[in-house]
A and B are shown apart, each in its own frame.
Chain A
Amino acid sequence: MALGLGSAALTTTPAAAHAPALRGPVPTGPGSVSGAPHLPPGFRRTFTSRFVTTGGLRQHVVVGGAGPPLLLVHGWPQTWYAWRLLMPALARHFRVVAVDQRGIGLSGRPATGYDTGTLARDLADLMDALGHQRFAVAGHDTGMPIGYALAADHPDRVQRLAVAEAALPRVGDSPAMFGEAAANNRLWHIPFNRLDTLNEQLVRGREHIYFGWQFATKAAKPLPRYAVRHYVDTLARDPHALHGSFQWYRALDATVTQNEQRVKRGRLTLPVLAVAGATSAGGGVAEMMNLVADDVRSVIIPGTGHWVAEESPERMLAALAGFLAPYRARPHG
């Protein structure tokens, strides 16, 4: 219970009271809260974009709400915006921190550091800077292996971990490079995204084709056109954005090695929620997490594809709210 530094802040409700880092520069324009399209009503009253610089990396976060801290880590090829439909409700009970991963959105794009160990450290540093010693994490898609790394590498920091819709690279039985066509359609972006430069050469100027296909084929309920356009525009607008979006995949050799070490080091003991879309990862997420964690509960959202937080926000919210209820009640764990 006694956490010392920061513990008082965790229970303090007014957001501004414990957020010295929020005095930093306020991002504007596309990619920021002020520039994002079709946000839920009142979103901008609760949430603000901030830049937080840690260890030379500028991270963009969208922060708001009051309560124990909850870090939201988006997946590929998205940004913090993937969580927008959940954020207002979550902000009633939590201090919500929705980050753009290193390399993505408005966050900085260093040449290196895209293995999940480094990405998890980015987030630990971010939460330090925001004054949050201990926190809950939700990670979707690439945010799931990052969330795993955060919980495994910084067990004293993470109280609860919700993960959705991904595999942990090279944990358990790896999927096949040459699976059946349906599996191939779900996974071919991984070998493609890992390439050094050819992927950028083929996708540049055709972002709507490549990313549009990803959004269209992996949804059970199509995402709104404005959202797909926002994600694609984010990747097409800036010549370096495409590069940054592939970097997670280019660091997979390092992530795989780290995961082997994480598995050897031991299992996660914190509570884990494994979320999947029924027409996408299904039971695979919980199966995966059961390989590395002792306390896993599974929620499979019916009629939903890969984009769980946008296709079925109410059900996703219910799953998260149920899972986080004990954390909300006793934020110090």
Chain B
Amino acid sequence: MTFSTPRGPGSAAQAPDLPAGFTDTFTSRYVDTGDVRLHAVVGGDGPPLLLVHGWPQTWYAWRLLMPALARDFQVIAVDQRGIGLSDKPKSGYDTGTLAGDLIGLMDALGHQRFAVAGHDTGFAISYALAADHPDRVACAALAEIPGPPGVTPSPALFVPSAVNDRLWHIPFNRVEQVPEQLVAGREDIFFGYEFAVQGGKLPAEAIEYYVRLVSDPEALRGSLGFYRAFDATVQQNGQRKDRHLSMPVLAIGGELSYAGHVAEVMRLVADDVRGVVIPGAGHWVAEEAPEHMLAALTEFLAPYRGTAAR
């Protein structure tokens, strides 16, 4: 286990527009799990809470919630393998391996049991984490995809165009090489479209920051790793879904995005699901409606906060 100080625009020290006092509480760290070196932004006091961002984002997606959460929890906001300041190996992007990365991270940080919150691709990874390591995950808050890939039948190829606009990036991202070749130098166009089409609205500065981080050949490739491992993840989920999750699950949907559908699907694979719909929010729930998200998470995590051993 080695700690060193991450630098550069992807670190806590150099991220733009953070909440007041953020860097007093939080620091960027590198944690070597043995397989990969992951970047995590860590701070706060209390039982551990792991935050797993989605695509095409980084730990930064959680920034508006982190100071409040840090009053009650030790918050660990990680960059997934392939993303931000974390290592970007050629392989290992199926959710089983990505969940294993997070186990390695929490082991290295000394946390046996923890709560996890995952958004978008982080939802699928957190689901794998809870399903594959049920003794480690006390509870899971999962936001803004309609269930883990493969748990329900795929939508049809010829969906209505409005739906197609929101889903096409998945078939596209899965293709080898062509996405990098078409997107390189045009990251603002491609990712700008994604941020705009998924419902809701982020500040232009935040979008520019995310786009800057992914506008590098290795970062672009790494950001697509999850999608290139889709077959393996779907196959794994086919096995996971028969073992229902038994820990408490909070299923979060943005009212303008997947809304109540998130909870509907999670009830197929978990026994203790409560659903919450974040009013007025699109896909980017933690940034569009941080107060609502915080309220939902705080209420959901209260029992964990009360009982978790330090």
Contacts and interface: CB of A to CB of B under 8 A. Distances in A.
Contact of A191 (B172, B182, B190): B172
B282 to A, nearest CB: 18
Contacts of B171: 177-178, 184, 187-188, 191-192
B153 A176 contact: yes
Given A170-B158, A185-B175, A210-B178, A178 B149 contact: yes
B156 interface: yes
Interface in A162-196: 169-170, 174-181, 184-185, 187-188, 190-192, 194-196
Contacts of B267: none
A191 B157 CA distance: 7
A192 B193 CA distance: 13
Contacts of A191: 157, 164, 167-168, 171-172
Given A176-B155, A177-B159, A198-B190, 15 more contacts: A175-B156, A176-B154, A177-B171, A178-B155, A178-B170, A178-B230, A181-B231, A188-B174, A192-B172, A195-B164, A195-B168, A210-B178, A250-B161, A253-B160, A253-B161
A202 B167 contact: no
Contacts of B161: 194, 250, 252-253
Contacts of B189: 198, 201-202
A185 B173 CA distance: 11
A130 interface: no
Interface in A222-280: 250, 252-253, 256
Given A192-B172, A209-B181, A177 B157 contact: yes
Interface string A190-222: 111011101001110010011001000000000
A49 to B, nearest CB: 33
Nearest to B183: A202
B212 interface: no
Nearest to B189: A201
B165 interface: yes
Nearest to A182: B231
21 contacts: A170-B158, A174-B158, A175-B157, A176-B154, A176-B157, A180-B231, A187-B171, A188-B175, A191-B157, A191-B168, A192-B171, A194-B165, A194-B168, A195-B165, A202-B183, A202-B189, A202-B190, A206-B182, A209-B178, A209-B182, A250-B161
Contacts, number: 90
B186 interface: yes
A203 to B, nearest CB: 7
Nearest to A193: B168
Q: Is the interface of B mostly helix, strand, loop or mixed?
A: helix
B207 interface: no
B234 interface: yes
A250 B164 CA distance: 11
B182 A170 contact: no
B174 A184 contact: yes
A163 B189 CA distance: 38
Q: Is the interface of A mostly helix, strand, loop or mixed?
A: helix
A188 B153 CA distance: 18
B168 A192 contact: yes
Interface residues of A, number: 32
A203 B182 contact: yes
Contacts of A194: 161, 164-165, 168
Interface in B133-173: 149-150, 153-161, 164-165, 167-168, 170-172
A180 B158 CA distance: 16
A202 B156 contact: no
B160 A188 contact: no
The winner among B170, B182, B189 for most chain A CB atoms within 10 A is: B182
A203 B190 CA distance: 11
Contacts of B157: 174-177, 179, 187, 190-191
Contacts of B178: 209-210, 213
Nearest to A251: B161
A301 B4 CA distance: 60
Given A195-B168, A202-B183, A174 B156 contact: yes
Contacts of B164: 191, 194-195
Contacts of A187: 157, 171
Contacts of A203: 182
Interface in B167-223: 167-168, 170-172, 174-175, 178, 181-183, 186, 189-190, 193
Contacts of A188: 171-172, 174-175
